[in-house]
């Protein structure tokens, strides 16, 4: 079932807050001395209220959450400030004393469900442990209660799950287990630190719905730490916007979203793709009638399967076809395991299809071998999701960007240097990055370097594999703007892979939706999003956060499937 | 607002835009560059130790007046004193002098052995890791065979094939370490080869050889160099064992390992005979290790 969050009826005089933080200052020390990450912030959380702490990486939101529950990393220090939990000052308590309230009065839903469970203990035992630690129950009684909790958080077959180990569960199921542990003792405050960032979008919705439902049932307050403004606006009563460890703005969610007072908040809001329905302006190609020869990428009946040992085979891509017109952007959308990455790896000739045909700019990829394949690479370039992994850590930016030029007909050194400098300027980087190495750059700058390297050979097609997913929302908006600019100037064709429909809606002309390796929907972005043909696409669209404060789109029939199970 | 407007707005921002660097609490970003040129005390000590040992190896006569081979009558098994800084052995030879004159034997032998292992092992490991398939299988099974024979037995067999002597002992020790070098290099190469920047290099039209030289080799050698530094200590010990058994440097040679082996008989009565050369070996190994670690950090 799908539950929409409901604002609790507001009492005229708010009761005393569950959590009151004032003057909280957190600093981190390393070899170069101390650095303050949180600068004296004040806020409070009332009983039963959801307060969202929003900010980009480095804004101090996680440090704040960690300081409250006393789990700062070793080099972190709570410099000053008071943290009052249920009118009790807990700042500066020793760890031993905090153990008494952690789990029972205040609990944490961690970010990465994959790393937060003990891999050698069964699920049931781990849930029972929290009850035993706080002397609530022990032995078989605790175990029975644990099973009831697992059932409460919506795990199917809780008895079976209790006997399983973490690796046998999916990410969404693990997060449910962690939620069960967090609510086991009915704490008065739950800190949810990016609880759904590591999960697929439909699973994310189910998990957030669950947190919402439980907090209404138990009257627990929630401090939701998130980078996703869409999630924050959907789920919170009040919003706190952080930047560089200082509060930029806080207030009722509707007020902040509807009428932001602060420039930074306004920028965040306009950059968040999920909060802005921004239709892409029609590209020139759209106005001319389509002809067959305009299609620069043609994929027909693509199949890729992998042997799993023995006779079983896993079909990663199952009969997928799509066409991309020159100068347009085509998006491949799907959740993890949908086959979108495999498809584009085949299109960029890094993998060979099991069957089917791929024609790029008139060339059938199956005919390419050795030297012809190497020459083909000038036409199509791939930009990876993770700019940390796709740049050689030992090379300077100049060497990285220059490298593709060295692979083809020799270019004199002076001309190479000139072309590298030109392309670096084109992607909006200052010239002084050329002598640096990747680790001295931020994520957004690194992604610009990756784009520069891809563009230096003047390719016709850029394949972008989740190229903006790892970036902060404002940086993401900047990279997307850069991509639109480059497309207009250079007539590039983009094949854009993403799990984020909000981004796709903003950048793509046409879209193919993949699920379990099959093509479930395709067409122009407006058609697919406005009038989805398949239930899966509807569910994906439904799961985009940030609905609450957006002009309502056409209502879709509710569907519910436990996709993460 | 259309995306065009947004694009324009961001273009305006773009010149000043590199402020998308935000301080962050992730470990990588917290220390973006260890650019502080603070001189590390342990690094300084390690450097000093190596410089001194190298000087001693080159010109031992500058550091001691005693003869390393000829004993002094009536001075047998004297504990450390002002006259004999590290004491004397059972034949009345000054231990400090023997250590000083032995440095060149121990270091050159060990370095030669590690050099052989490093070069041959790297070549085989790169071959196996980068080509893969059948080449990988053949090379690695050969390495398994080498590893399955006890190192001492293997080096003894090789010495018997090559003939006795310090240089042959070094070659033998080098060959026994080829397999472990090859394994480490192969695993590093495979890790690096799977990384996205290597795929990106192929994707931008790089040939097998150019990618190997530009990316795979430099990135896989860091941990191999660290391992080589560790191997120096191991090689010193292996050489001394061979010397002790009579297959390496012949007994009057003051090779460090041999000194330890000779001192073992007196460990209850003359502790300095094993302790001093032992400490010398440990100091050299630690120093080499510390410096190789520092190199690794600069390179990154």
**Res. B28: pLDDT tops 50:** no
Helices B256-263 and B95-131, packing angle to 10 deg: 120
pLDDT at residue A453, as a whole number:
92
SS3 at position B32: coil
pLDDT at residue A495, as a whole number:
92
CB pairs under 8 A between A and B: 154
CB nearest B22 (choices: A56, A406, A439): A56
Chain A within 8 Å of B7 (Cβ-Cβ)? yes
**Res. B37: pLDDT tops 60:** no
Stretches where chain A sits below pLDDT 70 are 1-15, 276-293, 308-311, 547-565
pLDDT at residue B12, as a whole number:
38
Q: How confident is the model at residue B172 (pLDDT cuts 50, 70, 90)?
A: very high
Q: What is the layout of strands, in order, in the sheet containing A363-364?
A: A313-325, A295-307, A355-360, A363-364
pLDDT at residue A308, as a whole number:
66
d(CA A350, CA A342): 9
Looking at the DSSP bridge assignments, the partners of residue A358 are A299
SS3 at position A289: coil
The residues in A 433-472 lying below 8 A from B, measured between CB atoms, are 439-445, 450, 453-454, 457, 472
Residue A444's closest chain B neighbor by CA? B20
User: Could you tell me if A253 and A232 are in contact, meaning their C-beta atoms sit under 8 angstroms apart?
Assistant: yes
Q: How confident is the model at residue B71 (pLDDT cuts 50, 70, 90)?
A: confident
Q: How much is the ipTM here? A: 0.71
Q: What are phi and psi of A69, to 5 degrees?
A: -95, 5
| Short-list A259, A251, A247, CA closest to A232 | A251
CA dihedral A40, A41, A42, A44 (to 10 degrees): -140
d(CA A501, CA A520): 15
User: Could you tell me if A442 and B22 are in contact, meaning their C-beta atoms sit under 8 angstroms apart?
Assistant: yes
| CA A547 vs CA A19, A55, A256, A469: distances in Å | 28, 19, 15, 20
Q: What share of chain B is helix, strand, coil (3-state, %, to 5)?
A: 75, 0, 25
pLDDT at residue B16, as a whole number:
35
What is the full DSSP assignment across B135-178? HHHHHHHHHHHHHHS-HHHHHHHHHHHH-SSHHHHHHHHHHHHH
CB nearest A403 (choices: B17, B38, B201): B201
d(CA A523, CA A520): 11
CB nearest A278 (choices: B2, B25, B200): B2
The residues in A 27-86 lying below 8 A from B, measured between CB atoms, are 28, 30-32, 35, 37, 56-60, 62-63, 73, 76
Tell me if A390 and B10 make a contact (CB, 8 A cut-off): no
Q: What share of chain A is helix, strand, coil (3-state, %, to 5)?
A: 40, 25, 35
Q: How confident is the model at residue B141 (pLDDT cuts 50, 70, 90)?
A: very high
More confident residue, B109 or B33: B109
**Res. B224: pLDDT tops 70:** yes
Structural domains in chain B plus CATH codes? 41-66+92-299 (1.10.3720.10)
Number of neighbouring beta carbons within 10 Å of residue B109:
29
The upper half-sphere exposure of residue B125, i.e. CA atoms within 13 Å in the direction of its Cβ, equals: 28
- E-strand stretches of chain B: none
Name the least confident of A37-46, B21-30, B64-73. Answer: B21-30
**Res. B300: pLDDT tops 70:** no
d(CA A201, CA A534): 17
Chain A within 8 Å of B214 (Cβ-Cβ)? yes
CB burial of A331-348 (b: ≥16 within 10 Å; e: otherwise) equals bbbbbeebbbbbbbbbbb
| Short-list B244, B249, B253, B245, CA closest to B99 | B253
Q: Report the CATH number of the A22-120+165-272 domain.
A: 3.40.50.300
pLDDT at residue A277, as a whole number:
61
pLDDT at residue A290, as a whole number:
53
More confident residue, B156 or A114: B156
| Rg value, chain B, Cα | 26
Q: Hey, where are the domains in chain A?
A: 22-120+165-272
Number of neighbouring beta carbons within 10 Å of residue B279:
13
Q: Where are the alpha helices (DSSP H) in A184-251?
A: 201-218, 229-235
Burial of A409 (0-12, 13-18, 19+ CB in 10 A): exposed
| Short-list A545, A540, A561, A564, CA closest to A331 | A540
CA dihedral A5, A9, A15, A20 (to 10 degrees): 30
Q: How far is CA B54 from the centre of its chain?
A: 16
Helices B272-299 and B217-245, packing angle to 10 deg: 170
What region does A139 belong to: left with phi over 0, alpha with psi -120 to 50, or beta?
Answer: left
pLDDT at residue A284, as a whole number:
45
């Amino acid at each position: 079932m799908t539950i929409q969050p409901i604002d609790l009826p507001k009492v005229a005089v708010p009761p005393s807050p569950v959590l009151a933080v004032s003057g909280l200052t957190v600093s981190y020390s390393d070899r170069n001395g101390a650095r303050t990450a949180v600068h004296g912030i004040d806020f409070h959380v009332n009983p039963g209220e959801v307060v969202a702490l929003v900010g980009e990486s480095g804004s101090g939101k996680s440090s704040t959450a960690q300081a409250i529950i006393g789990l700062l990393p070793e080099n972190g220090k709570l410099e000053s400030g008071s943290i009052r939990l249920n009118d009790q000052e807990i700042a500066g308590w020793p760890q031993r004393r905090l153990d008494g309230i952690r789990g029972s009065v205040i609990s944490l839903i961690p970010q990465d469900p994959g790393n937060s469970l003990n891999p050698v203990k069964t699920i049931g035992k781990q849930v029972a442990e929290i009850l035993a630690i706080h002397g609530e129950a022990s032995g078989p009684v605790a175990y029975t209660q644990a099973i009831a909790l697992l059932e409460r958080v919506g795990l199917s077959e809780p008895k079976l799950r209790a006997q399983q180990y973490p690796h046998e569960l999916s990410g969404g199921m693990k997060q449910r287990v962690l939620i069960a542990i967090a609510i086991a003792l009915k704490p008065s405050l739950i800190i949810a630190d990016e609880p759904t960032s590591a999960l697929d979008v439909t699973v994310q919705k189910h998990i957030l719905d669950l947190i919402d439902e439980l907090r209404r049932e138990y009257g627990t307050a929630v401090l939701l730490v998130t980078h996703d403004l869409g999630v924050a606006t959907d789920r919170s009563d009040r919003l706190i916007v952080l930047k560089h460890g200082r509060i930029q703005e806080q207030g009722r969610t509707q007020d902040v979203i509807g009428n932001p007072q602060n420039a930074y908040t306004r920028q965040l809001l306009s950059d968040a793709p999920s909060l802005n329905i921004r239709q892409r302006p029609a590209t020139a190609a759209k106005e001319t009638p389509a002809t067959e020869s305009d299609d620069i990428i043609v994929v027909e009946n693509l199949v890729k399967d992998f042997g799993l040992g023995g006779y079983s085979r896993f079909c990663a891509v199952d009969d997928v076809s799509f066409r991309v017109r020159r100068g347009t952007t085509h998006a491949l959308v799907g959740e993890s395991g949908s086959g979108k990455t495999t498809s584009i790896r085949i299109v960029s000739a890094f993998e060979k299809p099991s069957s089917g045909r791929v024609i790029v700019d008139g060339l059938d990829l199956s005919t390419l071998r050795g030297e012809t394949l190497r020459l083909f690479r000038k036409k199509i370039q791939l930009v990876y999701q993770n700019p940390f992994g796709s740049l050689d850590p030992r090379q300077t930016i100049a060497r990285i960007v220059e490298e593709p030029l060295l692979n083809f007909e020799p270019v004199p050194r002076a001309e190479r240097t000139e072309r590298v400098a030109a392309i670096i300027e084109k992607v909006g980087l200052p010239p002084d990055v050329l002598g640096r190495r990747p680790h001295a750059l931020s994520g957004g700058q690194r992604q610009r370097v990756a784009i520069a390297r891809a563009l230096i050979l003047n390719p016709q097609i850029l394949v972008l594999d989740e190229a903006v997913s790892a970036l902060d929302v404002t940086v993401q908006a900047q990279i997307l703007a850069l991509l639109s600019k480059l497309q207009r100037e250079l007539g590039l064709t983009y094949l854009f892979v993403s799990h984020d429909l909000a981004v796709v809606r903003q950048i793509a002309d046409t879209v193919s939706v993949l699920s379990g390796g099959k093509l479930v929907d395709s067409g122009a972005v407006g058609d697919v999003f406005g009038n989805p043909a398949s239930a899966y696409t509807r569910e994906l669209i439904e799961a985009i956060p940030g609905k609450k404060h957006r002009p309502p789109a056409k209502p879709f029939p509710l569907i519910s499937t436990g996709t993460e199970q | 607002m259309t995306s065009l407007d947004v694009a324009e707005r961001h273009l305006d921002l773009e010149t000043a835009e590199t402020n998308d660097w935000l301080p962050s609490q992730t470990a990588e970003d917290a220390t973006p560059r260890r650019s502080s040129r603070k001189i590390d005390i342990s690094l300084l000590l390690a450097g000093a130790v190596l410089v001194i040992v190298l000087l001693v190896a080159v010109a031992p006569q500058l550091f001691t007046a005693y003869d390393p081979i000829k004993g002094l009558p009536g001075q047998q098994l004297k504990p450390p004193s002002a006259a004999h800084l590290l004491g004397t052995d059972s034949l009345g030879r000054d231990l400090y002098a023997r250590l000083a004159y032995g440095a060149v034997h121990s270091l050159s032998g060990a370095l030669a052995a590690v050099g052989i292992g490093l070069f041959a092992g790297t070549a085989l490991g790169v071959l196996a890791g980068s080509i893969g398939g059948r080449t990988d299988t053949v090379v690695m099974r050969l390495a398994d065979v080498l590893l399955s024979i006890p190192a001492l037995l293997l080096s003894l067999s090789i010495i018997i094939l090559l003939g006795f002597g310090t240089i042959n002992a070094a070659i033998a020790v080098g060959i026994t370490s080829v397999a472990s070098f090859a394994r480490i290099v192969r695993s590093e190469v495979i890790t690096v080869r799977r990384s996205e920047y290597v795929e990106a290099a192929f994707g931008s039209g790089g040939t097998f050889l150019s990618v190997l030289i530009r990316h795979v080799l430099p990135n896989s050698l860091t941990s191999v160099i660290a391992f080589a530094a560790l191997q120096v200590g191991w090689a010193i010990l292996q050489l001394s064992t061979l010397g002790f058994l009579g297959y390496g440097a012949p007994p009057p040679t003051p090779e460090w390992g041999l000194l330890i082996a000779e001192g073992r008989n007196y460990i209850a009565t003359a502790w300095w005979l094993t302790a001093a050369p032992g400490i010398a070996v440990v100091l050299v190994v630690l120093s080499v290790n510390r410096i190789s670690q520092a190199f690794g950090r600069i390179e990154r």
